[in-house]
Amino acid sequence: MSPEMDKYVRHAFGSNEEENEEIDFSPPPDLSELQHQPLPFPIEEFVPLLQDAIIEIQRALQLPAGMIATALLAGASYGCQSFIEVISRIRSYVEYAALV
């Protein structure tokens, strides 16, 4: 722990050591300079059918591509879960994948 953080901890929890020590409560540094633009969602990794769907939904509803892609993946996963069989090593029987 840094010495500065140690001062805050001692102050917050009432340590008997160095009770009269002044703590600097100056405002934190401006972090707006560190902000950056997020990378675009990689829709090119989807199959062409889903790429087209994401682009059309984005054009029609003005939603972020990441939100649309997540909803499409969730719907596809939910629709396919009954076709996926999982073999449990512990229970030694086959069960369907359950996302819910």
Phi, psi of 85 (to 5 degrees): -105, 135
Residue 28's CB: how many other CB atoms inside 10 A?
A: 5
pLDDT digits (tens, 9 = 90+) for 45-87: 999 999 999 999 999 999 999 999 999 998 988 888 878 888 8
Give the tens place of pLDDT for each residue, 41-56: 999 999 999 999 999 9
The per-residue pLDDT for range 17-49, each reduced to its tens digit, is 555 567 777 887 777 777 777 788 999 999 999
Taking the chain, what is the end-to-end CA distance rounded to the nearest angstrom? 42
Check: pTM over 0.85? Answer yes or no.
Answer: no
